[in-house]
Structure 1
């Protein structure tokens, strides 16, 4: 009986230790998630000439960059990722955010991963938007401000136990942290590919800053674009149909049908030329 008694004490001790460890891990991850950025990006002024933004140009940018996918058709926010073990993420109600924040604060969120209250942003793809020009950012802000204030505030980010483990292990990082670590620019392959390189910024969010694919989004290295002929590549980007007539029901298929229909044939051709030139360089380097 004494052995059983002491075994019970031991198990109770282990349970208490595990409880404290879990609580400590939760507190540490919560601090990391809510921790302020610690610095403010430089002031950004778009409301005075010559930087007055165009809401119409901004609308096209918003479509191409998938702003409505996360923030809803009227930018009032929506639940766009619902995996309780990893993360439940709502796009904020941008009509209310824009009414309360300056252009500099909106720019900080878009291109620097810093919220209006100074906190680090975790799901907003600022690391992809960092390569937007001042003009494009001004246009995007003008488009956001063109919507009347409506709807309610959306809930804050909820990170599950698997997501918190990723935070603690450095596998899940804030956008601000990613940008501070350095996001390499897309390869510059010469002035003849400048337009295609600009369009390729749309690929960074899913395929990574180096376009070599991402395990998180299960996206491939874009050297595979070299295997497409022009007609198949255009069909891929406008219809989400891969070579051989296979309809894609993944992120690429959804992006093609909701975002990339706004691309012109000339832009698609320029992107394809850039990706083929990149593939040739990658192959040459490997050899």
Structure 2
């Protein structure tokens, strides 16, 4: 009897192992296909300005669209999103200056990266939140590129990127935003300009940057790592629903909630140099979400 039980246990375990191997083989080739997909897109033609006002606006956009938050104020990159110890893979922000270890992009390359999430080889960039940027207006995009492309070169070698089995499985189930090109409407037609105003419409235009952490419906998400608190709900159903607009503005400018408690250290509030008008617009949008 015991031998029979052991026999069937071995068969079940062996079958399970074979199934998992077949499943992961499928996951591997599926994700490899997606990683190596060549996109056939029409690159937009933008006139990139060089005047001081456009550069100043581009600097501000780089701060509020999380460019400096990931690539650093000198744009040399190096921030780790997944390292040697991570079960997901190895992902560091890139050096996007023209220094050693950086990049050498034409205007078309910048547009391709920011509008389509694609590298020079027309394959998807990795873990670059282009899907949170690609719909900004032509005027804003041109100003952003004008600033970023003129940053002083910094010599810093990039880390080699890689994706581990868990990262592939999460990518397979669309639970990890490895390939931004998959989340972009490559036929979208951006508007030429947006009107700066304290309105829900302008707030929505700005708040797209928040979706990377707080999720697309702003209802929060799981913690980024072990020991960290969950990402909070910032819609009207979360704590923000009880805050005033002044409280929201103060929180994003000081890092302290209206009740005096500090924000989660993972919240990069210092990286977002929003104006009062922009913060009030974001509050108006978020506070109106059901």
- Give the TM-score band, short-chain normalised: 0.7 to 0.9
Q: Secondary structure at the match of 2:135?
A: coil
Q: Paired residue for 1:272? A: 283
Runs of 5+ unmatched residues, structure 2: 191-196, 225-230
TM-score, scaled to structure 2? 0.74
| Deviation (angstroms), 1:27 | 4.1
CA distance in 2, matches of 1:14, 1:58: 57
Query: Over residues 72-112 of structure 1, what are the superposed CA-to-partner deviations in whole Å (9 max), with x where a residue is unaligned?
Result: 23212213213520132111211139862221221121122
Query: Over residues 128-150 of structure 1, what are the superposed CA-to-partner deviations in whole Å (9 max), with x where a residue is unaligned?
Result: 11221111111111111212333
CA distance in 2, matches of 1:171, 1:220: 19
CA distance in 2, matches of 1:120, 1:228: 40
TM-score, scaled to structure 1? 0.75
Q: Is 1:213 the counterpart of 2:220 in the alignment?
A: yes
Q: How many residues align?
A: 265
CA distance in 1, matches of 2:242, 2:16: 56
CA distance in 1, matches of 2:162, 2:245: 43
1:107-146 matches, within 5 Å, as 107-146=111-150
| Deviation (angstroms), 1:237 | 1.0
CA distance in 1, matches of 2:45, 2:270: 33
* Contact 1:240–1:247, Cα closer than 8 Å, also in 2: yes
Runs of 5+ unmatched residues, structure 1: 283-287
Q: Is 1:42 the counterpart of 2:50 in the alignment?
A: no
Q: Paired residue for 1:285? A: none
Report the RMSD for the aligned CA atoms in angstroms: 3.7
* Contact 1:70–1:79, Cα closer than 8 Å, also in 2: yes
* Contact 1:204–1:211, Cα closer than 8 Å, also in 2: yes
Greater helix share, structure number: 1
1:16–1:199 distance in 2 versus 1, CA, 3 Å:
closer
Q: Secondary structure at the match of 2:82?
A: strand
